[in-house]
Amino acid sequence: MAIESAKPSEEEKSWSMGVADATLGALGRRTLSSFGVFWAILHMSWEILIRFFPPRIDGAELMRNLYNVGVRSFSIIVVTALFVGAIMVIQAGIYVEQYGATGLLGWGAGFATVRELSPIMIALMFNGRVGAKNTAELGTMKVTEQVDALRALAIDPISYLIMPRFVAMVSMMTLLVVLGDATALLGGAATSQFLLGVDHLVFFRSFVELIHVSDLMLGVYKATTFGVAMGIISCHYGYAVSGGAVGVGRAVNDSVVSSAIAIFVLNYLVTYIIT
Amino acid sequence: MSEAELIVRCEGVSKRFRRAWVLEDVELRLERGSMLGLIGPGGCGKSLLVKMICGLVRPDRGRIWVNGQELGGLGERQMQALRAQIGMVFQNYALFDFLDVGENIALPLRVEGLLPPKEIEQRVAEILDLVALPGIERKMPHELSGGMKKRVSFARAVVRRPPLVIYDDPTAGLDPVTSAKIYRLLARMKEEGTSSITISHDLDGIRPLCERWLLLDGGRKLFEGDLAALEACSLPRVREFWHGD
Amino acid sequence: MASKTAQDVSSEPRGFELLLAYVGEPLVLAFLELRGIAQTAALTVAYAIRGQRRREETWSQALRIGNHSLLFVAAVAASLGTTLVYQAGLQAQRILGDLTLLGPLYLQLLLREFGPTITALMLATRVGTGISAEIGSMVVTEQVDALRMSGVHPVEYLIVPRFWASTVMMLCLVCFSVLVSWVAGMLTAQLAFGVSPLTFAKLTFIIPGDVVLMLLKSLVYGMTIPIVAGASGLAAHGGSEGVGWATTQSVVNCSLIILFEDFLLSGFGYLFLLR
């Protein structure tokens, strides 16, 4: 990304050279720069991993981060999950109505929600709320030399700043998806009762009968994986900021974009490995 | 002093942020062709007051007149017409980083749409001559030094030849040589009959330029008057700020 | 209400008042946020209709919003398409034992729901953060004040070109993303379940309503993103923290509003378009 943004003029020129050249050029630049980013993210993962054996985490910071991450995202996750449940019931409702199979409504909507949409949507919201904020906070600390100040005080910035954030993001993401599944169910039941006219008990029954625990667990596993990815990526971009307020803005942008890609790719991998 | 001779007049201007009053009952009178030194400790509401005079921030209480027109009841379109009569040099230059120097200075003229492009170009060249930076039209703002940015910002503020110019800390962070250049520009604008308000911490630098002084402290007017009265003022806070004791 | 409750805190709050404060403050804040967005929306539409046209700026914004998102959108659409078809295929095999409907139903859901909404959420992440970071850093460096002093309205100058660019490019990107997801799904069906592309590519189920709903959703999302992101950017204050705050706010607001619009439009589609 850094290489790409450093040469805006070249990109303008390449536009006039034709779409094919421009696309190839962008592809090449991206491949080169994403190697660098990939390597740096691996390095950050390693730094985090070695601090788990033995655990070196600042306790007070951890509590503060757990509170910030969990409680601050609560209302947004609830609203998101309500809408996701409602939208999936509407989509499934169209087919259910065509074939008159109201007994399958809970299964159709619920299956897609707990396995796919609830983890993905909640992760995207979490990415916007917590991941972006994390990068912005760490980035601001970096450009105002607070990170250097920690080092000067002989405090390891990774144990003190990054570990608590990482642990808070992973654990809260997992818990929030459990909460989100339950809320989505409520949103779905309300929609099926009021918009589709399918009794909510019918909805719940088909959900309970046809959805397996393994379906729910797949969503939870996904959530944990997404939490790990977002934790590492957002901390990496925040920790690597340079260049003042503009740099912070750019880092936040890069961080949410990379996390979003990671979410979808991991979604594919986890689905493929577990089922 | 009759009302027509005043270019800016503020009465009981107050502004609240959350629950705290950050500006309370401030009075200000500026005669045509004169310069007002707006001084006070950091965070006392100086920048806020000048932003209200430009109509960028609306006061919660009180009335402001600029060039005989009251700002209170103006819509956005009329307000824009009024802002054309005010030039503002921002504290941190506020140059548009996506436009080059020439386009930065030309923007107010282009928006106005009164002059043909050729003449705008000529005006930009003239004004860059005035600030002693000829021929830098095609440079981008990030290529300039702090003093140059300040002078470009100055050029953009005065390109429409407004009757009132506001300088928000024109010499902040500049070395003495560059500061002297800026003060010469301020003096020159004054000779041409422009009225101005100058916010500054460099009291010695603006002392010869300003006829009137307004000292704000904690959002309140502490003192208003001319230089002799300011030096003679016996209020402890004023003496502390002015004499540093 | 926010100010009243804060005063009460300083003078011995009682239990009931504290409860009111906890419930009321987020509501008041959400209301203020929505009012800011509504004002920006009204101004944007007004200036978009009768303001000056800035062809070049709109063109370069379209390049940045559209072309530079192609790779990102393609990556996300492909992995989502693969995952969806894989999961749906497994279920269909288990319950129905028949995979001939997989392709047509998948394409239908793609048009109605996943294509537009997922693409819009992705662009809210990539483009929304970009717009709010850019405008936010212009606010904190007083460039927006300087614009107004030059007689330019910031909404007209900054948001309107992005509004046109995003509205048009969103339509293109959604079509592109649907195409990529569909092809990815087709490949998955062939490789994982041996469904031939000819069976998969049947268009039997597609009705005009599906396409109309897709275009409608894309249009609304495309208009939403620059308005909401621009409003967050214009509301920034403070230094680099302010920019970070605006960026975070923009992702969350954009995503929530897109989900809400998705809910409304899906309901509208269910009631009027897809019968």
- Classify residue C238 as left (phi > 0), alpha (psi -120 to 50) or beta: left
Two structure tokens written together for A255? 């961080």
Looking at chain C, which residue has its C-alpha nearest residue B86? C149
Say whether residue C42 is in contact with chain A using an 8 A CB cutoff.
no
- pLDDT number for residue A9: 44
The whole-angstrom separation of Cα A139 and Cα C137 is 15
Residues of chain C neighbouring B107 (CB-CB closer than 8 A): 150, 152
**C-side interface with B, Cβ within 8 Å?**
3, 6-7, 141-143, 145-153
- pLDDT number for residue A23: 65
- pLDDT number for residue B142: 86
Prediction ipTM score: 0.84
- pLDDT number for residue A20: 60
How sure is the predictor about A190, in pLDDT bands with cuts at 50, 70 and 90? very high
Most confident segment among A102-116, C104-118, C169-183 = C169-183
**How distant is the alpha carbon of residue B23 from its chain centre?**
18
pLDDT tens string C154-205: 999 999 999 999 999 999 999 999 999 999 999 999 999 888 898 888 888 8
Across chain B, which has 245 residues, the per-10-residue mean pLDDT values are 77 86 89 90 86 89 90 84 89 86 90 88 92 89 88 90 91 85 90 91 87 88 86 83 75
- pLDDT number for residue A19: 58
The whole-angstrom separation of Cα A63 and Cα C213 is 46
Most confident segment among B87-91, C134-138, C234-238, C258-262 = C258-262
Q: Number of residue pairs across A and C with CB atoms under 8 Å? A: 158
* Window 11-70 of A, Cβ < 8 Å to C: 12, 15, 22-23, 26-27, 30
Residues of chain C neighbouring B19 (CB-CB closer than 8 A): 3, 6-7
- Convert chain B into a string of H (helix), E (strand) and C (coil): CCHHHEEEEEEEEEEEECCEEEEEEEEEEEECCCEEEEECCCCCCHHHHHHHHCCCCCCCEEEEEECCEECCCCCHHHHHHHHCCEEEECCCCCCCCCCCHHHHHHHHHHHHCCCCHHHHHHHHHHHHHHCCCCCCCCCCHHHCCHHHHHHHHHHHHHCCCCCEEEEECCCCCCCHHHHHHHHHHHHHHHHCCCEEEEECCCHHHHCCCCCEEEEEECCEEEEEEEHHHHHHCCCHHHHHHHHCC
- pLDDT number for residue A124: 92
Two structure tokens written together for B36? 């007002």
Say whether residue C76 is in contact with chain A using an 8 A CB cutoff.
yes
- pLDDT number for residue A1: 36
Residue of A153 and C89 predicted with greater confidence:
C89
- pLDDT number for residue C5: 43
* Inter-chain touch C6–B18, beta carbons under 8 Å: yes
Mutation to test the C interface, candidates A16, A144, A248, most C Cβ within 10 Å: A248
Say whether residue B19 is in contact with chain C using an 8 A CB cutoff.
yes
- pLDDT number for residue C7: 45
pLDDT tens string A57-71: 888 888 999 998 988
Task: Say if residues C141 and C239 touch (Cβ distance below 8 Å).
Answer: no
Q: Number of residue pairs across B and C with CB atoms under 8 Å? A: 53
The whole-angstrom distance between A54's CA and the closest CA on chain C is 34
Going by C-beta distance under 8 Å and a sequence separation of 6 or more, which residues neighbour residue A18?
A: none
Name the pTM for this structure.
0.85
Above pLDDT 90, what percent of chain C? 48
The whole-angstrom separation of Cα C200 and Cα C191 is 12
The whole-angstrom separation of Cα A188 and Cα A190 is 5
Residues of chain B neighbouring C152 (CB-CB closer than 8 A): 107, 111
Two structure tokens written together for C223? 């208009």
pLDDT tens string C8-60: 445 566 778 888 887 788 788 888 889 989 999 999 999 988 877 788 889 99
Residues of chain C neighbouring A86 (CB-CB closer than 8 A): 263
Rg, chain C, Cα only: 22
- pLDDT number for residue A26: 67
Say whether residue C134 is in contact with chain A using an 8 A CB cutoff.
yes
* Inter-chain touch B94–C143, beta carbons under 8 Å: yes
The answer to whether the bond into B162 is cis (omega within 30° of 0) is no
Is residue A3 pLDDT above 60, yes or no?
no
The whole-angstrom separation of Cα A150 and Cα A58 is 13
Say whether residue C87 is in contact with chain A using an 8 A CB cutoff.
yes
Say whether residue C252 is in contact with chain A using an 8 A CB cutoff.
yes
Mutation to test the B interface, candidates C4, C150, C156, C234, most B Cβ within 10 Å: C150
Q: Whose CA is closest to A262, among A217, A220, A229, A215? A: A229
* Inter-chain touch C252–A139, beta carbons under 8 Å: no
* Inter-chain touch B83–C151, beta carbons under 8 Å: yes
